[in-house]
């Protein structure tokens, strides 16, 4: 049975499934190219995409994998991924509805794991990472991509605030240091970390999640009253567009 938080995530994302398949921010990026490159190099028999959303990690791994399983809490997301995979001729893609924190798979049954822009929604990231490690063979690559918070409490609080107002199922964007500690304690050995920034176009960012107008207006108020350090860090523009910090953690299951 889904927890109340997981039900809230599903309600937030389900109706937005097609928007996440079509999203330019989600369907592009050097991070996806890197995931595809790793899959091409190792040719995994079985790959898994945790919190697949619109399925872009699945589509990056599937051409190189024997089988790719896209996992998500949302049936609507999984239906959209099945349809998009079929239209791309990716007939080795399967889907499983599950929470990252409780994966319905045997120990050591996957050869590669991808997880992008999902972990900040998990109510128990440590459990999700432990589960990810459990289902992987030792030595298998696991790639995690997410928005990362700054080490500065001022910037961190601003980020979590606008994220929560935009999507009330937001849990936490973890900092790079928090990610490193969590990955290590779940049994992943970090090989490489890359960071970059992505511009969030405010109207597109709000429309993708169908943020109610009062909450979108609250974000603009928070941005307008933010101190100069915050405005500078996030490069907040007159229409509310701003820059988000991203990180890719290239790890292997230790």
Ligand X SMILES: C[S@@+](CC[C@H](N)C(=O)[O-])C[C@H]1O[C@@H](n2cnc3c(N)ncnc32)[C@H](O)[C@@H]1O
**Least distance from ligand X to the Cβ atom of residue 77, Å:** 4
Residues of this chain that bind ligand X (CB under 6 A) = 9, 13, 20, 26, 51-54, 56-57, 72-74, 77, 99-101, 116-118, 121-122
Is residue 78 within 8 A of residue 52, CB to CB? The reply is yes
What's phi and psi for 111, nearest 5 deg?
-110, -5
Q: Residue 182 contacts by C-beta under 8 Å, 6 or more apart in sequence?
A: 125, 126, 129, 174
Looking at beta carbons only, is 169 or 226 nearer to ligand X?
169
Nearer to ligand X, 51 or 240 (CB): 51
Q: Closer CB to ligand X, residue 20 or residue 188?
A: 20
Shortest CB 2 distance to ligand X, Å: 9
- Compute the C-alpha angle 138/250/161, nearest 5°: 120
Asked if residues 53 and 117 have their Cβ atoms less than 8 Å apart, the reply is yes
The distance of closest approach from Cβ of residue 154 to ligand X in the complex, given in angstroms and rounded to an integer, is 26
Place of tokens 């030792």: 138
Q: Which CB atom, from 29 or from 44, has the smaller least distance to ligand X?
A: 29
Contact 135, 108 (CB under 8 A): yes
What sections of 55-190 are H helices per DSSP? 56-61, 75-87, 125-135, 153-166, 176-186
Comparing every residue's Cβ against ligand X, the nearest one is 53
Residue number, 10 or 226, with CB nearest to ligand X: 10
Closer Cβ to ligand X, 34 or 231, answer by number: 34
| Shortest CB 153 distance to ligand X, Å | 25
Can you list the positions of beta strands (E) in the chain? 46-50, 67-72, 93-97, 112-116, 141-147, 188-200, 242-253
Q: Which of 181, 174, 66, 52 is nearest to 112 (CA)?
A: 66
CB of 157 to ligand X, least distance (A): 22
Smallest distance, Å, CB 228 to ligand X? 30
Of 115 and 219, CB closest to ligand X: 115
Q: Least separation, in Å, of the C-beta of 174 and ligand X?
A: 14
């Amino acid at each position: 049975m889904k927890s109340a938080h997981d039900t809230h995530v599903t309600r937030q994302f389900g109706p937005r499934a097609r928007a996440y398949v079509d999203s330019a921010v989600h369907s592009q990026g050097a991070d996806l190219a890197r995931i595809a490159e790793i899959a091409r190099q190792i040719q995994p028999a079985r790959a898994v995409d945790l919190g697949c959303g619109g399925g872009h990690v699945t589509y990056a791994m599937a051409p190189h994998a024997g089988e790719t399983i896209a996992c998500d809490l949302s049936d609507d997301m999984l239906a959209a991924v099945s349809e998009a995979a079929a239209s791309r001729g990716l007939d080795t893609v399967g889907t499983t509805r599950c929470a990252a924190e409780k994966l319905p798979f045997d120990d050591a049954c996957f050869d590669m794991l991808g997880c992008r822009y999902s972990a900040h929604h998990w109510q128990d990231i440590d459990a999700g990472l432990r589960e990810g490690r459990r289902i992987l063979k030792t030595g298998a690559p696991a790639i995690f991509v997410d928005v990362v918070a700054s080490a500065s409490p001022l910037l961190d609080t601003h980020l979590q605030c606008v994220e929560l107002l935009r999507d009330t199922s937001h849990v936490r964007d973890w900092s790079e240091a928090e990610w490193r500690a969590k990955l290590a304690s779940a049994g992943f050995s970090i090989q490489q970390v890359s960071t970059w920034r992505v511009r969030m176009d405010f109207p597109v960012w709000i429309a993708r999640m169908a943020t109610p107008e009062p909450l979108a207006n609250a974000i603009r108020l928070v941005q307008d009253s933010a101190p100069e350090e915050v405005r500078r860090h996030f490069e907040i523009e007159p229409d509310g567009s701003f820059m988000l910090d991203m990180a890719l953690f290239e790890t292997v299951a230790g």
